[in-house]
Structure 1
């Protein structure tokens, strides 16, 4: 079974995905894979340097802060970035999924921040789990963990699908607002049991 887990920034989707891994699922983290292909000596670095120039590569890795600024100011930059990075990420995800399948995992969890932004995922997943919370909660959580301003967090949120769009794509929803961590763990365990773990 292939389960896509998504949610807006600060929703807790990666926390839920990690809890499902703790309950026996294989976990494929699309964000971690994207970071790996854009870190020093990553597979996408040469193409990124060719497309955006050496100013966007620092110590051999993508300068994320500079790229984030460019993406917010130039809509075409995001498309150009994704056109380079996504094929590398897609290949790595497919490879990791094949490994998990060969290892006999009953549930493969795909932690995908931008699941509803890309039409390709619907064809590749059996079920979609959306981790949802109020926008105010998202902003507070991201500010606490990253130190970004509220406006900076809102700018990131504006590049993601609206809550209603994510919820409409969901087969399952975990409402992660005001939950204690132990309650979230209980929910994750219930989902794991539902999928036969």
Structure 2
């Protein structure tokens, strides 16, 4: 349907009449910008400014966007690693953690680093042991704990997979500028830090 400025002005007047009784009418109403576009449809900037956000709406939209982005990249990476190396992305993440710790990791620490349950880690470890990509031995400090580390075969496979992983991400994001990526990374780091701080505060209250 073509954009009709007259229709917008009528709706604008309806909105003004609703808020004037609550003494919430803006002192200055900005001029209508009939060139503004939202979701493929023309919408006056003044009308957009007067839309009252629904509580929790922006947070939900952020959450859904993060899920969508994660799902898109996860699916393509998982498919690529499986096809080339017989590795799921979950297995790759375990190998990546162990690559950072040459002395190995206790299963509990590995679970914490990956932010998954102990049961999930145990299943992944069993499959990686069967593939001879990692080794497991009892901890010398705590005989109730086991330490897992990369085998030479696991280290060699991870090096190849990590290189392909990096190139694949670069290909998927090649149309996003370095400035955009850096800005997105800064925002996500800030959000992560604030959520972590809030979680610690909530833990102390318990």
Q: Which has the higher strand share?
A: 1
Name the TM-score, length of structure 2 as normaliser. Answer: 0.23
Greater radius of gyration (CA): 2
Name the TM-score, length of structure 1 as normaliser. Answer: 0.24
